[in-house]
Amino acid sequence: MARVALVTGGTRGIGASISKALKAAGYKVAANYGGNDAAAEKFKAENAIPVYKWDVSSFEASAAGVKQVEADLGPIEVLVNNAGITRDGAFHKMTIEQWNAVIGTNLGSLFNVTRQVIEGMRARKFGRIINISSINGQKGQFGQVNYSAAKAGDIGFTKALALENAKGGITVNVICPGYINTEMVQAVPKEVLEKSILPLIPVNRLGEPHEIARAVVFLAADDAGAITGSTLTINGGQYMT
């Protein structure tokens, strides 16, 4: 029987590629999204992957959302915590709203969603949890104190949760993408991209969403059970760890 995978932020950008790659690999996929109904419906129609709308920064909404996914598809055995937002600004001008929004979605969601599935995974003695962090959680980034703090927190969350569950057949890993060719990066002015970003990337190109997705499929596999607590860096050599 196909394993059930939930991808948060799973209808656009990197998340959409992850959802499609997991489906192609034989998983029953549920794609969560937060607000763009038109994009979600288009994704659903094109890929025949069910979509579920809820705010991952809310514990109560996440509990209800996961309950619905499991009622429809079965117990979640693979969880990809991918949902993320940016609210950039220099720290001395940052508002509490900017801080809370990013911490809630990019870090708080890992607790809110993972907490709903971890007990079931422990009972079944199998689980794959894959968190999507960022190069900026590893090295920091000007104007992204909130984002960098959240993404660094994702890495710490991964390591601690991996330790707690290693004996129970549950792996927990984190992927740190660099600059990936998504809508967000495409919105950067071409001149800035070519003069200020690409020169910092040794492979001299942006990463592609499907390259992140392939890594997720690898970590989600049944035979990846010896890999846990790991940070997989995919950034074209921009930041080497």
Which amino acid appears at position 30 of this protein?
A: A
What pLDDT score does 183 carry? 86
**List 33, 147, 179, 239, catalytic entry:** 147
Question: pLDDT tens, 47-71?
Answer: 999 999 999 999 999 999 999 999 9
Q: Which residues of the chain have pLDDT under 50?
A: none
What pLDDT score does 187 carry? 82
What pLDDT score does 224 carry? 98
Q: Look up 147 and say whether it is catalytic.
A: yes
What pLDDT score does 69 carry? 98
Q: In sequence order, what E strands does the chain have?
A: 4-7, 28-33, 51-53, 76-81, 127-132, 170-177, 231-234
Does this model's pTM top 0.85? My answer is yes
What pLDDT score does 185 carry? 84
Closest by Cα among 65, 68, 69, 49 to 57: 65
What end-to-end distance do the CA atoms of the chain give, in Å? 38
